[in-house]
Structure 1
Amino acid sequence: MIEASTVSIVHDDARLAGRDAADELVDVMGGRPDFVLLFASAKYEGRAVLDGLRGRLGGGVRIAGCSSFAEIDGKGGLTESVTAMGFRLGSALRVATLLDVSRDGDDRGLGRRLGERAQALDPSLILVFYDSLRCNGPHVLRGLQDALGATFPMVGGGAGDLGEFVRAYQIADGEVITGGASIAVFSGPIRIATAARSGWIPVGGEHRITAVEKGNVLLTIDDRPALELYQEYLGPRAAAVASLAVEFPLAVVGGLEGTCRPAEGEIAVLRAVAGIDVQRKALLLGGDLPEGTLVRMTTGTRDEVIRAAEEATAQALRSLPNPSCALLFDCMARKLVLGTRYRDELKEPMARLGSIPKIGFYTHGELSPVDGVCMCHNETFTLALLEG
């Protein structure tokens, strides 16, 4: 049976923050955990945090995690912390951690290598943390699915920094890397319930992606310059497109490779507009969109974004009413859009989840199943409930 506890530490010294997190975990759990899930603010040097943690826990404790834009603990969202969840797994459940770096830009190969190594461990669930600043998240995911199958349960998100988009790091046991992915592989009996909701609403008609470069540089929609059509949708606000884009992601409504088309009016996955290329009249997306994909524009209010997190939590709890713990992966863009109200988004989920241990971070891309197939999302609130 899973036993878990979460601690959060804010300290000016990264090594001491890691050490204090380890001390608190040992104190609240009455001994060393078997596994630690670790999310550390990118303000901290990852090597120092890990050295402080392992210096107290010893080398026998498995550790996986990454740098974060902001963190989530049992009380809600917080910033510039070291947040850790310790697990005791019992005799039937095991966890292993794996790490690898992307080679020659082959992110799908990175995912495939990790998936093949994980497959040998008889996995039942995998937590994935990839470098969102140097790796293509959807490609890493597809590589994992090449090895494990499209319906294998995976959750997690993209490691990031504090918004400079310069350097993120990934952690597994005693190693800290950039440009790769770390995974935690659970083996044995474990139940999981997941949900993903955004709160954005599709508006207008369907449009087809007709030209894409490098997977995420959207050149044309309906054979028109993508930026031109997007600005047309924004109307009087078009002049401020660079600052407004994060508030108006594209909704994939026609399904993606390996997935089913969603019901009418529903969103399968969002793609954030992360930037614009004025010269080429192109949109720079937060994830891949293959040519031929059907999309719609979206709109949404802060209240609708907040309500989506409540709906996702309620959905997951209907599937697994008595979880042992909750993992939350929330997009950094949602925090930016919500501004001073970002803590409001987590109030109702925290209340619904009650006293169970909770941990998460604000991601640069979220991994969560939709209709049984894991997908890489943008601007979406996702959570996973575990029972074992």
Structure 2
Amino acid sequence: MELATLVYLPGSGWATPPDTQLDSPNTLVLVFGAADSLATLAEGSPLSTLARALPRSVFASAATHTIAHARQTADEALVVCIVRFDHTALRRFHVELGPVMTAESAGRQLAQALLDTPGLSGVLVLADGIEVNGPDLVRGLNALLPDSLPIAGGMGAAGTRQARTWSMRHDGPPQGSACVIGLYGAQLRMARSCHGGSIGFGQRRLVTRAQGNTVEEIDGYPALQLYRQYLGRYASGLPEAASHFPLTVFRQATDLQGVIRYVLGIDTDRQTIDVAGDIPAGSLVQLSRAGRSELLEGAFHAARDLADALPVDGPVLALVVSCVGRRHVLGEQTEDELEPVATLLRPGSALAGFYSFGEISAGAGQRCDMHNMTLTLAALWEEPQEP
């Protein structure tokens, strides 16, 4: 397995050009970065350079305002991960959603396409973070894919500008689409970890009315009224303060671990709360605190869990998908959450990723889900082929 990462900065171009020797049908090219740079394949654009240098490779992409590369982050840039596998085959599938094709149906269709080829060892998922319902997409994938199959990825994001986001085909990035990369082969290994770090407080309460990503009532009370009561003196800082107080969702009363939902906004007239993802009526919610120290502690635990699964030697590709909400809370300390991950990687490894509108991964003992305010890590490598 050969690895390379490239960075493209508007105004200065490529730090190093793509290596044409890495091109093959078993080469995966992941492109994360500025929506404007991903919007065209016109001659001279960064995507046209990649497509010309790597014509046989398998491409996938997601737009984001902030990329991660090694120990650093950058805004309005591109990061490219190029992985040429020795023993792993690749298949890419995508669907474009519309009035007939729902996100859950798309997930099922993509899962079936992946399963039509034997030897599936791992799946990467990238989807439009505006047009595609992430939890429903994952629900469709989970309906057909085995529980033991590692799945990782995220929902494209374009920062706070709420610009269109997408995943990319080789011939351009359609809006409202979802893309999966199937990795096939007995030598492939894929390890995952995810931690948020948010600390829940107060009792769990029942969501008595909700529509999509809008929570209307909790325990029969207007959702915003109850949310304000729990925030106490911090309620005066709404809506900005909401980024520090996400909701943890427990879909079953017996769930020990919940899924974090980032509060996108509030409606003071309707007394409702809008979240990233969904919170179904009948689920339980708990208010959580997500300060800088809590989020960095979560990053440490994510790195520690990944370290336990990594090979003793040899390079790995470490994909990091974190949340735009974490970026907002951490501010100038954002790069601190990458440090524990970068430290554990062996020479020759690569670390890259993006800040998303939803992180797709699985926690310990859980099925794959879409998370918010969570640092998710996925490491890919190949074991040597036995003689």
TM-score, reference length from structure 2: 0.90
Amino acid at match of 2:271: K
* Residue 150 (structure 1) shift: 4.4
* Residue 152 (structure 1) shift: 3.0
User: Could you tell me how far apart the structure 2 residues matched to 1:374 and 1:193 are?
Assistant: 13
Deviation string 1:210-267 (CA, Å, 9 cap, x unpaired) is 1111x211011111110000001111221322111111101124549xxx722xxxx4
User: Could you tell me how far apart the structure 2 residues matched to 1:361 and 1:372 are?
Assistant: 23
Show the counterpart of 2:385. Answer: none
Structure 1 unaligned regions, length at least 5:
none
- Secondary structure class of the residue paired with 2:37: coil
Amino acid at match of 2:213: N
Cα pair 1:6 1:74 within 8 Å, conserved:
no
1:348 and 2:334 matched: no
User: Could you tell me how far apart the structure 1 residues matched to 2:236 and 2:226 are?
Assistant: 13
* Residue 353 (structure 1) shift: 2.3
Match of 2:81 among 85, 97, 119: 85
User: Could you tell me how far apart the structure 1 residues matched to 2:22 and 2:272 are?
Assistant: 54
Provide the identity percentage.
28
Deviation string 1:255-295 (CA, Å, 9 cap, x unpaired) is 49xxx722xxxx42101111112221111010111222122
Show the counterpart of 1:139. Answer: 136
Match of 1:158 among 139, 147, 155: 155
* Residue 358 (structure 1) shift: 1.3
Name which of structure 1's ranges 153-162 and 349-358 shifts more when overlaid on structure 2.
349-358
1:261 and 2:255 matched: yes
Number of aligned positions between the proteins? 369
Show the counterpart of 1:96. Answer: 91
Match of 2:331 among 314, 335, 339: 339
Cα pair 2:39 2:172 within 8 Å, conserved:
no
Cα pair 1:271 1:377 within 8 Å, conserved:
yes
User: Could you tell me how far apart the structure 1 residues matched to 2:251 and 2:280 are?
Assistant: 11
Structure 2 unaligned regions, length at least 5:
383-387
* Residue 158 (structure 1) shift: 0.4
- Secondary structure class of the residue paired with 2:40: helix
User: Could you tell me how far apart the structure 1 residues matched to 2:200 and 2:310 are?
Assistant: 29
TM-score, reference length from structure 1: 0.90
Amino acid at match of 1:46: A
Amino acid at match of 1:133: I
Show the counterpart of 1:193. Answer: 191
User: Could you tell me how far apart the structure 2 residues matched to 1:8 and 1:81 are?
Assistant: 7
Deviation string 1:136-165 (CA, Å, 9 cap, x unpaired) is 100111112223244432100001113211
Amino acid at match of 2:29: V
- Secondary structure class of the residue paired with 2:19: helix
Match of 2:236 among 236, 239, 249: 239
Name which of structure 1's ranges 347-356 and 309-318 shifts more when overlaid on structure 2.
347-356
Match of 1:39 among 32, 38, 41: 32
| Correspondences of 1:221-370 after superposition (within 5 Å) | 221-253=218-250, 255=252, 261-262=255-256, 267-322=257-312, 324-355=316-347, 356-370=349-363
User: Could you tell me how far apart the structure 2 residues matched to 1:150 and 1:374 are?
Assistant: 8
Show the counterpart of 1:209. Answer: 207
Cα pair 1:102 1:110 within 8 Å, conserved:
yes
Gap change, CA 1:222 and 1:269, over 3 Å in 2 = same
Deviation string 1:286-308 (CA, Å, 9 cap, x unpaired) is 01112221221111331221121
- Secondary structure class of the residue paired with 1:270: strand
Cα pair 2:192 2:377 within 8 Å, conserved:
yes
Deviation string 1:45-98 (CA, Å, 9 cap, x unpaired) is 43234223112222x1111121112111123222221111111111x3101111
Deviation string 1:339-384 (CA, Å, 9 cap, x unpaired) is 1111122122211224311111111100001224101100100101
RMSD (CA atoms) = 2.0
- Secondary structure class of the residue paired with 1:54: helix
